[in-house]
Amino acid sequence: MTYSYDVDLYTPDSGNFVVAVTHYDLDLDYRLSSNRLQAIATLSVIAHESLSKFSLDIFGLVVTKVSIDGVRVARFTQTKSKLKVDVPQGISAGQQFTVVVKYGGNPVPMPTPWGEVGWEELTEGVLVAGQPCGASTWFPCSDHPRNKATYRFSVTADSPFYVVANGRLVSRTAKASRTRWVYAQTQPMPAYLATVQIGKYRPQGLPAGRIPFNSYIPSDLAEQFLADFSCQKDMMELFERLFGEYPFGEYTVVVTDDDLEIPLESLGISVFGRNHVDGSKGSNRLVAHEMAHSWFGNSVTVSTWKDIWLQEGFACYAEWLWSEESGGKSTTDWAQHFWLGLRALPQDIMVGDPGPALMFDDRVYKRGAITLHALRLHLGDDKFFDMLRQWTTIHEFGSVTTEDFQNHVMTFAGPSSASVSAVKTIFMAWLFSVALPDFPVTSRWATKKK
């Protein structure tokens, strides 16, 4: 895996560009009544270049001790969002070393241009939503989407509460009135996808196929939850046919007892609010959207945030694919519906580089999805879905750019220079031109179920 990366101009204050973290071991002790966190983070780090100092992202928490390879660091400083560490003995390029950070405080979400992100108190519990730069609200990190690492989470909390984190539950140990939960995330992920969810949840079984499903919900929502989420088995089977094998060992859904404005994805876990569970599949498209992020976002992750359409446009298109599969509107109907909506909106966004202020604009999602529909019409179903399956396989657990995707698509366009030119035209018109292109139609290919 390549660990080097450049500053992300959308989140320029996040990440460190002289080091990369390859593993996080987080030991967290959390008191819900006082929102008090005491923690030790052990980071495995590799230096990109020779260095005498480096920094890590941390926000709203106080660092009390730092050591490197077992030697206590005499000098470190903190700013509002950075831990700056001096390394008197120096570290050479390519050297691997271990950093241990002891820290604590009252975690709070980070204010950003996109709202508050990170650690957030619920009425009874905690929610962590790190996208795009909120991981530093609960652990010291290099919060850049390209810096992927493995994780171990040890979380101690009050026993009435259930703790969910990324990866496999390794152990659960109760002692007196507190319980220690240990999770291991062995596939690499960026810091923004790391999460911990704490609440008075009950496990809820769901029909499962090849992939085990875990569900943790408020006890009074069991009937409605089963009605809304039992379709996940069929959803997973469809997406595995179209996108390739599910890249992780299990899939988890958490439903908070609070309402949430939108569902939230993290690696292997999707989080919904109780307002998304109504017993009548009212949020069915969102269930599909969050599951699709398992392939597009959680496994294959953007290298920088300007390419966010590679995650959100793909997840949006998955909504339409599921609609078609489950007897609802076809992908063509949905594409045309949202194209008409886009036509009525201002034409002032370039989806392939929307700028930080517009990176979560709905036009990125919908126009990105129609880009895929245009490619599907051009390539035909067989080539299009083969292209997607190879994309997720080649870049599994990796980091990608729009240029990578365009080059990948062109290998499926065939030897004809006209076909290759058509692919380039689709990318330019839909992603790198402000004007909305005409609705994509073709007389050669018909949109159909796969």
In the annotated binding site, the residues are 289, 293, 312
Burial (0-12, 13-18, 19+ Cβ within 10 Å), 233: middle
Q: Peptide bond before 218: cis, by omega within 30 degrees of 0?
A: no
Nearest to 350 by CA among 335, 367, 333: 367
In this structure, what token pair is assigned to residue 167? 């990866």
Other CB atoms within 10 A of residue 348 CB: 10
Count other C-beta atoms under 10 Å from residue 150's C-beta.
18
Query: How far from 203 is each of 279, 413, 437, CA to CA, in Å?
Result: 18, 47, 47
DSSP states of 50-72: -EEEEEEE--S-EEEEEEETTEE
| Residues with catalytic roles | 290, 365
- CA–CA distances in Å: residue 163 to residues 87, 133, 192, 264, 336: 36, 22, 18, 17, 43
d(CA 311, CA 330): 21
Q: Which residues contact residue 442 at a Cβ distance below 8 angstroms, ignoring those fewer than 6 apart?
A: 377, 378
Alpha-carbon distance values, 37 to 155, 173, 206, 267, 369 (Å): 10, 19, 33, 23, 41
CA distance 403 to 409: 10
Annotated binding-site residue numbers for Zn(2+) = 289, 293, 312
CB 386 within 8 A of CB 289: no
